[in-house]
Amino acid sequence: MRPSTALLTLCYLVPLVVASPLDVYQRNSISIPLSRMSRDTTIEDVKAHLTTVSYKYDVTSRNYALNTGSPHSLSNRGPPYKLGERSTGSLTGDGNSVPLKNQSVNLWYGSIAVGEPPESFTVQIDTGSADLFLCSVRSGLSCAGHREYNATSSATSLDLNTSFVVKYGNRTEVSGDEYTDVVELAGYKAINQTLAVTDTYYSDFAASNAPDGLAGFAFQEISSYGAAPLFQTLCDSHVLHKNVFGLSLSTQKDKSELRVGGSNPSMYEPDTLTIVPVTVKGYWQIQLDGLSRNGEDMMVPTDKAQAIVDTGTALIVTKPENAVKYYENIKGARAVDEIWTVPCDTIGLFAPTLTFGGQLFPVSSSTFNLGPVHEGSTDCIAGLTGMPGIGEHWIIGDVFLQNVYTIFDVGNTEVGFARLKL
């Protein structure tokens, strides 16, 4: 992805010594390609994206409390971040792979098949949420241009006679009815998978060229309707060789994919694979050991900093105080409503390095630089930003994930990072 391309629209860490990790993640996996559509990034895009991200975590943290009976540490985050209304201004190795694309701002998406006979739908692959949403044939204009799910056309569809509403702030983003049906991902079939069939549709998907829906790959604890996510259903069905999926969100053409049932060791350096445990099951939440800039420790409180690995978030997000500290000694850096800009001729010098499990994982200058503030500007948008109400949590999004191969191990509730092969 070019620097001017949009990135926008999840146990405390104990270093593990892993013998022959490829034997664990390599066999019998299938990949699906992931794709992404690019466009120029603007400050307003980033603002709108962060508003959506904040609302998502408001909803999912409340879901965690409802589903588990205990508050998540994000539950005390205060009101959702808001900057006005939306602005106008192949995983191989151990399973099957799906190519991923990126649509619009932050949406990495691939294909699934639903029903009998099966129909193909494109869905956002979101490790920061847990639900499966598709358009209903009753949704009208909000689903114009999308493939719509028609329960009466599927011999395996079952109406659960349960309605749902998901609100972001004061507005309804998703509402409709719950069904179960057969959902196929990379050739694997999830039988009786719960899905939300929406009458009012998620506004980020309203554009006709957006994906048809969303597939959450986090844990059931943050589900809006308390049902097993798609990948968990596959795990529970014992159809996978390993209860693992791997992700490559590469800047290189045809190098982005979701690998189901394992990882793709041809895409990463095996000796750099670092595996860390999930600290709180719900999100893909792990401990962040540290963050540095040009070798200078940015004083991340390692006994408290929790990182949520989230393909549905474009940037690296932290509390505003951490962002101020990160940029305070950079000449020409300034904040525009929490969005930081740095002179384009020097921004590449200030990309961060994150530490997980004692391993350093640098962010490239090209992914850290989201492009000029506007055409002809000498200032560029930086990929690390502040967001109020996040507490000691860090959201680790696309800016970081494009630089690593990520393995999500559901069976062992742990995350692995490895450096991509050049």
Does some domain include residue 44? yes
pLDDT (mean) for 183-208: 83
How many whole angstroms separate alpha carbon 393 and alpha carbon 282? 14
Which pLDDT value is given to residue 247? 95
Q: In this structure, what CATH number is given to the domain that contains residue 308?
A: 2.40.70.10
Does some domain include residue 365? yes
Does some domain include residue 86? yes
By the 8 A CB rule, do 229 and 217 touch?
A: yes
Most confident by average pLDDT, 31-35, 105-109, 196-200, 412-416: 412-416
Low-confidence winner among 83-92, 161-170, 336-345, 350-359 (lowest mean pLDDT):
83-92
Known catalytic membership, residue 310: yes
As for how many domains the chain has, the answer is 1
Which pLDDT value is given to residue 10? 27
Which pLDDT value is given to residue 28? 43
Among all chains, which residue has been given the structure tokens 């013998």?
19
Known catalytic membership, residue 126: yes
pLDDT tens, residue by residue, 236-279 = 999 998 999 999 997 677 788 999 999 999 999 989 999 999 99
Low-confidence winner among 123-127, 138-142, 183-187, 387-391 (lowest mean pLDDT):
138-142
Most confident by average pLDDT, 16-30, 34-48, 364-378: 364-378
Q: Is the pLDDT assigned to residue 280 strictly greater than 90? A: yes
Residue 244 belongs to domain spanning: 21-108+232-419
Does some domain include residue 200? no
Confidence grade of residue 358 (pLDDT, cut at 50, 70, 90): very high
pLDDT tens, residue by residue, 97-121 = 777 665 444 568 889 999 999 999 9
By the 8 A CB rule, do 236 and 402 touch?
A: no
Does some domain include residue 342? yes
Does some domain include residue 115? no
Please identify which of the residues 310, 379, 398, 409 carries the catalytic annotation.
Answer: 310
Low-confidence winner among 108-112, 124-128, 218-222, 242-246 (lowest mean pLDDT):
108-112
Does some domain include residue 195? no
Please identify which of the residues 126, 131, 181, 398 carries the catalytic annotation.
Answer: 126
Does some domain include residue 181? no
Q: How many residues does the structure list for the chain?
A: 422
